[in-house]
Structure 1
Amino acid sequence: MTKPRLLPVHLEPDPGETFLGQLAHLRGLTGDLVDWLPPAHLDAPVPPGTSAVVVADLSGLAYRMVAAFRRIEVPILVVTSEFGTVSMWDWEIRDHLRRRGVATIAPTSRQELEDVCRALATKAALARSTMLAYQDDLGAGMQPDIFKRFYWWEDECVEDMRRAFGVTIERRSFRALAARAAAVTDARVEAAWERLGDSVPIVGLSKRGRGEALRLYLALSDELDESGEVIAAGINCLNESATSTTTPCLAWNLLFEERGLMWGCEADLTSMITETLVHKSLGAPVMMTNLYPFLMGQAALKHERIPYFPPVERPEDHILVAHCGFFGVVPRSFATGWTLRPRVLEIVDPEGNAIDARFPEGDTTIVKIASDMRTLTVAPAVLESYTQYENSDCLNGAVLRVADGYRYVEALPSHHAILANGDLSRRLDVVAGVLGLTIAHI
């Protein structure tokens, strides 16, 4: 990604020793993450292409320069200690500015400073990038009573994402992609398999199923080579499963590991943008899955073809998460265990594949962009265990605990959610201002 361009500003007429010393510290702390512009006075015009303004040194002059702060239209970072954080002595000034309509972003650790720099780069990358959605007959294929409902297929969703992030959404034909995959030669498939070697543990998948999975991966690779800056891609793989002789699970894993491409099961644009924002900004492992709160009772049990939820204390605060028979699509580098297996869902081709993988147990964050594209919903959770049900659509799912299950179910924006490893609540709070988002804690 292109580095963000940071403008250091000084309040005094000329840069003082304290300002220049702190700027030297910041250059060392940020390293190759950013490009620094020449210092400028706070009152000077912000040059075009500036990603953010950095206040490296504050003084009482700030109380008399509120109007100058208000004129700045890019994010304002206050990083006034040699450790890459806001200085404690600047809390009064920051509060004074906040109460007069000037929002600032103030890291409390070097990690938060680095997060902000990566978030600025992510914001810039989205504005010049494309997300691909492969689809033809939305809602008209398998399980149309379910698939006719989703916002991510609406033109309004596409326009909202473009307006919020500048990203281009390009819809392409799934049929054309499947035809391109079918035309991939056996020689290319065998060469790809030899190159991958032991990096793809496979159990139970037929040789034909493996070959079809690799054909789709190679076809997608070819399309990406031809398409410029593609940051994420998704396929309407379940609803239009009759289009293809395979599923894209292996392809999404390989394309992430090789290119950093984010993925969207069922061509879910909102999941793709959420994964991109969280992973590219924080570097945190992410994955996409379905939520089945225990509170939903038989509605959830029937869909997963399981007889009961696992026994837990306070079941109302627990959520079963599973997607396509297992935990969900997890890149191998994020997983504590990873195996490619035959498909589980009967609506996809028998030669299809699915990833059986796990995240680390412990602190987890459930996160998803809301339909206004201005709100990121965030819920700290604990991944307590994994659970298995034979002859079901949940051969290996995870059990999450949230603080308040009733409040969570009332406020969640979708049945699709992104899980991120660790408790990222504070780090997301910090980068939200850079990304133009507000955080809704649920």
Structure 2
Amino acid sequence: MKVRLLPLYFTERNERETAEYSEQMERLREYYGDVAEFLPEQPVGSPVPQEADAIVFPQMIFAAFRHDDELKSIQLPMVVLTSRFGTVEMWDWEIVTYLRDLGLTVFSPYSIEMGKTVLRALGVKRSLKEGAKFLVFQDSPGEGMQANIFKRFYWWEKQSTQSMEETFGCKLIYRSWKELNENARNISDDEARKVSADWNIQQEGVSEACFLKAVKIYIAVKRVIDEIGDVAGVGANCLNESFYSDTTPCLAWNMLFERDNIIFACEGDTLTLLSTYILYRSMEKPMMMTNLYTFLVGMAALAHEKIDKFPDIDDPDNHALGVHCGYFGLTARPFCSKWTVRPKVLAIVNDDAIMVDCELPKGPITLAKIYPGFKKLSIIKAEIEDYVQYPGSDCRNGALIRYADGHKVMDELCSHHSLIISGNVVPQLRQVARVFGWQTVEL
């Protein structure tokens, strides 16, 4: 997924500048060789090879103001990495501004992390364009255990699938959730024990029989993935069509991420799957999806989680509970400060199903998701203040989330499903949005 960068130079450079250019290229290969492939250097005005994803300028000189037509003819984004520290040189801000005024898309990273975010995002964009494959298991979208809820979601619509494929170039591959579970039932306990022998899963209250059922889902999904090949992300309509399954795929999704580096999303939500793929592959920050139950919604949220009141706190209007499937939600084990497999909570899934009780570290987070329509990115700077428990409810352990303006969130929030990303990554998200041409909606 490395981005292919074309280094350009100005022919007006002198002998000293030519030597400095070569030195800078060596630095850039050292700083960014893990995320970028550098094509042979070319002068400004020469034909741009088809395989290039973006232009990199390791050096800027006065000539940048004198090649408007040649520069405007380049249809690729440009990245300016001119300092010996692998970032933009402050003396180049005027040139960057001049190029942007010509209508060019120019990135000027001011840290290595920012530079890698931009370059990874450019690589992700190419991987999607080349047909990245997302695998979703479902049979009857919208119908099922909670049809009154699920039929309202855009991701079930053919329009959503078609638009996603046309916009990004990715491929959504659908397979039967019912058939997958039938195949899982035919897997022996001994095979499941062998496959999971080195997983070292912390669990409480889960019988071996229930654990092995979850392992068998992993084995069955892995077989389909191996058959298809090069699957980038996976999901299933696991809640609404839970009647087809003896368990839930939570453990399988985690192990596919740990062992095969495959992204996952819950409930077959393809917008979340796409958001996770783009944002995680671009930033490589811990992230997960959960439901946002904003305090301002009141009983409409409380009733769904079977709790009688929100936590008694100051400033409730600017808070939400993050809860999904009885706990905080599902995220990959390497991201968590706590990660334990427990028996299921929700009544709509099989009695033998499992769920993961996990926690991200408390502190700054950023909420994000691509809007339906694929033209905007929601960004909310927030914080996990604490975790709260309601025994006997559908919120056994949820996150207490605070943001700046709850009323603005209510006006602009694009989905009840939101990605939670550890840390304040608003600046990085802005850069990813620029790579994909999205408008940012910052709340």
Answering whether residue 141 of structure 2 is matched by residue 119 of structure 1, we say: no
* Contact kept in structure 2, 1:13 and 1:41, CA below 8 Å: no
Deviation of 1:118 after TM superposition, in Å, equals 1.9
How many residues are aligned here?
439
Q: What letter is aligned with 1:438?
A: Q
**Equivalent residue runs for 1:250-265 within 5 Å:** 250-265=251-266
Most deviating of 345-354 and 310-319: 310-319
Which residue of structure 1 lines up, in the alignment, with residue 217 of structure 2?
216
Which residue of structure 1 lines up, in the alignment, with residue 369 of structure 2?
368
Deviation of 1:310 after TM superposition, in Å, equals 0.6
**What whole-Å deviation, never above 9, does each CA across 1:318-354 have from its counterpart, x for those lacking one?**
0101000000001111110111001100000000000
Which residue of structure 2 lines up, in the alignment, with residue 5 of structure 1?
4
Measure, in 1, the Cα distance between the counterparts of 2:410 and 2:102.
36
**What whole-Å deviation, never above 9, does each CA across 1:114-168 have from its counterpart, x for those lacking one?**
2222222222222332101111111221111101111011111112221222110
Answering whether residue 185 of structure 2 is matched by residue 182 of structure 1, we say: yes
Which residue of structure 2 lines up, in the alignment, with residue 439 of structure 1?
440
Which residue of structure 2 lines up, in the alignment, with residue 18 of structure 1?
20
* Contact kept in structure 2, 1:8 and 1:39, CA below 8 Å: yes
Answering whether residue 412 of structure 2 is matched by residue 411 of structure 1, we say: yes
Which residue of structure 1 lines up, in the alignment, with residue 166 of structure 2?
163
* Contact kept in structure 1, 2:55 and 2:78, CA below 8 Å: yes
**What whole-Å deviation, never above 9, does each CA across 1:181-227 have from its counterpart, x for those lacking one?**
1111222112123232xx21111112221121111111011111111
Which residue of structure 2 lines up, in the alignment, with residue 240 of structure 1?
241
Measure, in 1, the Cα distance between the counterparts of 2:352 and 2:412.
38
Which residue of structure 1 lines up, in the alignment, with residue 151 of structure 2?
148
Which residue of structure 1 lines up, in the alignment, with residue 101 of structure 2?
99
Most deviating of 99-108 and 230-239: 99-108
Measure, in 1, the Cα distance between the counterparts of 2:433 and 2:53.
15
**Equivalent residue runs for 1:307-326 within 5 Å:** 307-326=308-327
Measure, in 1, the Cα distance between the counterparts of 2:401 and 2:71.
44
Q: What letter is aligned with 1:182?
A: R
Which residue of structure 1 lines up, in the alignment, with residue 37 of structure 2?
35
Q: What letter is aligned with 1:156?
A: Q
**Equivalent residue runs for 1:40-59 within 5 Å:** 40-59=42-61
* Contact kept in structure 1, 2:77 and 2:104, CA below 8 Å: no
* Contact kept in structure 2, 1:369 and 1:376, CA below 8 Å: yes
Measure, in 1, the Cα distance between the counterparts of 2:232 and 2:120.
15
Measure, in 2, the Cα distance between the counterparts of 1:82 and 1:438.
32
**What whole-Å deviation, never above 9, does each CA across 1:341-368 have from its counterpart, x for those lacking one?**
0110000000000000000000101010
* Contact kept in structure 2, 1:164 and 1:374, CA below 8 Å: no
Which residue of structure 1 lines up, in the alignment, with residue 425 of structure 2?
424
Measure, in 1, the Cα distance between the counterparts of 2:35 and 2:264.
25
Most deviating of 186-195 and 250-259: 186-195
Q: What letter is aligned with 1:200?
A: I
Measure, in 2, the Cα distance between the counterparts of 1:344 and 1:403.
31
Instruction: With the length of structure 2 as denominator, give the TM-score of the two structures.
Output: 0.96
Deviation of 1:13 after TM superposition, in Å, equals 5.0
* Contact kept in structure 1, 2:142 and 2:156, CA below 8 Å: no
Deviation of 1:305 after TM superposition, in Å, equals 0.5
Which residue of structure 1 lines up, in the alignment, with residue 278 of structure 2?
277
Measure, in 2, the Cα distance between the counterparts of 1:229 and 1:440.
33
Q: What letter is aligned with 1:11?
A: F
Residue aligned with 2:198, SS: helix
Deviation of 1:103 after TM superposition, in Å, equals 2.1
Which residue of structure 1 lines up, in the alignment, with residue 342 of structure 2?
341
Percent identical residues:
38
Deviation of 1:433 after TM superposition, in Å, equals 2.4
Q: What letter is aligned with 2:185?
A: A
Measure, in 1, the Cα distance between the counterparts of 2:397 and 2:207.
21
Q: What letter is aligned with 1:192?
A: V
Deviation of 1:29 after TM superposition, in Å, equals 1.3
- Quote the RMSD (CA, aligned, Å): 1.4
* Contact kept in structure 1, 2:12 and 2:63, CA below 8 Å: no
Answering whether residue 194 of structure 2 is matched by residue 195 of structure 1, we say: no
Deviation of 1:113 after TM superposition, in Å, equals 1.3
* Contact kept in structure 2, 1:9 and 1:39, CA below 8 Å: yes
Measure, in 2, the Cα distance between the counterparts of 1:264 and 1:24.
39
Measure, in 2, the Cα distance between the counterparts of 1:48 and 1:350.
55
Which residue of structure 1 lines up, in the alignment, with residue 62 of structure 2?
60
Residue aligned with 1:74, SS: coil
Measure, in 1, the Cα distance between the counterparts of 2:339 and 2:84.
42
Measure, in 2, the Cα distance between the counterparts of 1:297 and 1:383.
20
Deviation of 1:27 after TM superposition, in Å, equals 1.6
Measure, in 1, the Cα distance between the counterparts of 2:198 and 2:360.
26
* Contact kept in structure 2, 1:365 and 1:420, CA below 8 Å: yes
Measure, in 2, the Cα distance between the counterparts of 1:438 and 1:13.
37
Residue aligned with 2:268, SS: coil
Measure, in 2, the Cα distance between the counterparts of 1:400 and 1:361.
10
Measure, in 2, the Cα distance between the counterparts of 1:419 and 1:314.
21
Q: What letter is aligned with 1:386?
A: Y
* Contact kept in structure 1, 2:87 and 2:109, CA below 8 Å: yes
* Contact kept in structure 2, 1:75 and 1:433, CA below 8 Å: no
Residue aligned with 1:413, SS: coil
Residue aligned with 2:235, SS: strand
Q: What letter is aligned with 2:32?
A: T
Measure, in 1, the Cα distance between the counterparts of 2:227 and 2:437.
31
